[in-house]
């Protein structure tokens, strides 16, 4: 059982594999490059899940916390997108937030990740409850259509993860 959230990088090939079965699996690519797919790792219903983190963006200011979206420190530190995917131990790697970095940009990013992780762990029960509630409501067919339409099919992806 995961008691503290962890920052992990998910393998992009694994995301591509899941996307074969569910087109709502998030992308970790932009027009120019493959970005590291960084997020938090936690457990829901006995399965490890990954939820992507986002850096602070102006658009987050206008967004509200919802069942599938959580501002981190009122968006000062970014957000968590709870369009989560199940992961096996071989589909992710832990991000070492204590490794030495060389550039100022890397130091700034590393500092942001540390602050995000500290805030998320200090609000662990809120994060855990939000993820579990989304999972349960989706699987019971009780989500509003606008939220369901952007969520992954958790049970299907759990089956594909085991394969």
Structure confidence by residue, pLDDT tens digits, 60-80: 989 999 999 999 998 899 999
Residue showing tokens 């131990």: 89
What is the pLDDT confidence band of residue 118, given thresholds at 50, 70 and 90?
very high
Q: What is the arithmetic mean of pLDDT over 26-49?
A: 73
**What is the extent of the structural domain holding 103?**
6-162
Q: Is residue 66 part of a domain?
A: yes
Q: Is residue 87 part of a domain?
A: yes
Q: Is residue 83 part of a domain?
A: yes
Which residue, among 42, 8, 25, has the nearest Cα to 113 in the 3D structure?
8
Q: Is residue 1 part of a domain?
A: no
| pTM > 0.75 | yes
d(CA 11, CA 40): 14
Q: Is residue 115 part of a domain?
A: yes
Q: Is residue 11 part of a domain?
A: yes
Q: What is the arithmetic mean of pLDDT over 42-48?
A: 87
- Whether the CB-CB separation of 52 and 26 falls below 8 Å is answered with yes
Q: Is residue 73 part of a domain?
A: yes
- Whether the CB-CB separation of 54 and 45 falls below 8 Å is answered with no
d(CA 106, CA 41): 22
What is the pLDDT confidence band of residue 35, given thresholds at 50, 70 and 90?
low
Output the CA angle 62-63-65, nearest 5 degrees: 140
CATH of the domain at 44: 3.10.129.130
d(CA 1, CA 3): 6
What is the pLDDT confidence band of residue 34, given thresholds at 50, 70 and 90?
very low
| 4 burial via Cβ count (<10 Å: 0-12, 13-18, 19+) | exposed
Q: Is the pLDDT confidence value at 18 over 80?
A: yes
Q: Is the pLDDT confidence value at 32 over 50?
A: no
Q: Is the pLDDT confidence value at 152 over 90?
A: yes
Q: What is the arithmetic mean of pLDDT over 89-95?
A: 91
Number of domains composing the chain: 1
Q: Is residue 149 part of a domain?
A: yes
């Amino acid at each position: 059982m995961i008691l503290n959230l962890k920052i992990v990088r998910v393998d992009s090939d694994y995301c591509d594999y899941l996307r074969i079965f569910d087109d709502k699996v998030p992308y970790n690519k932009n027009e120019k490059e493959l970005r590291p797919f960084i997020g938090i790792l936690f457990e829901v219903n006995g399965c490890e899940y990954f939820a992507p983190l986002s850096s602070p963006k102006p658009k987050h200011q206008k967004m509200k916390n919802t069942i599938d979206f959580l501002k981190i420190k009122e968006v000062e530190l970014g957000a968590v997108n709870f369009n989560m995917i199940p992961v096996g131990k071989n589909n992710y790697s832990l991000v070492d937030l204590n490794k030495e970095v060389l550039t100022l940009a890397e130091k700034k990013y590393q500092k942001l990740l540390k602050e995000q992780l500290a805030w998320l762990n200090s609000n662990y029960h809120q994060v855990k409850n939000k993820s579990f509630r989304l999972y349960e409501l989706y699987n019971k067919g009780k989500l509003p259509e606008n939220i369901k339409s952007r969520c992954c099919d958790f049970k299907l992806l759990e089956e594909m993860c085991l394969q």
